[in-house]
Amino acid sequence: MKIWITKLIMKVMSKLNIKLNLSNLISAVRFENGKEGPVECIIIPIDANHLFKGKSGIYLNMTAFELKEIKDNQTHLIKQSLPKEVYKAQTEEEKRAMPILGNVSTFEASTSEPVSSTEPLAAGSGLSF
């Protein structure tokens, strides 16, 4: 049995650029002693910021909200996604006052020409992907 590879069509896709302002979390910026002198650091308390401790890291859950109008390629704003019990306990005013942590903007990725091949692959020879 022969497997024929037909035309692979690649469409233009956008890449996302995400910027976060970590100082909008409960944090402190200070200098700590490093091997080669003072190092500027941002200290972000885990519990005060409702960060999630997982098996392989400490995570900040976020939600991106689509903007009504795109300006400077910015398509979404990013806010922290709080644990359900914390969110439900907040007043509407507290929910609206949640700081914007950042934004999402798009830029166009390079495009590829369509790839086609009519060379048959022998059955059982394995796929290249």
Strands (DSSP E) contained in the chain are 2-4, 14-20, 28-34, 37-43, 52-53, 58-59, 62-71, 74-80, 100-108, 120-122
pLDDT tens figures, 92-101? 999 989 999 9
| Domain residue limits, the chain | 12-24+52-109
Give the pLDDT band of residue 16 (cuts 50, 70, 90).
confident
| pLDDT value, residue 128 | 45
Q: What are 51-65's pLDDT values in tens digits?
A: 999 999 999 999 999
pTM over 0.75: no
Q: Which two tokens stand for residue 78?
A: 């990013």
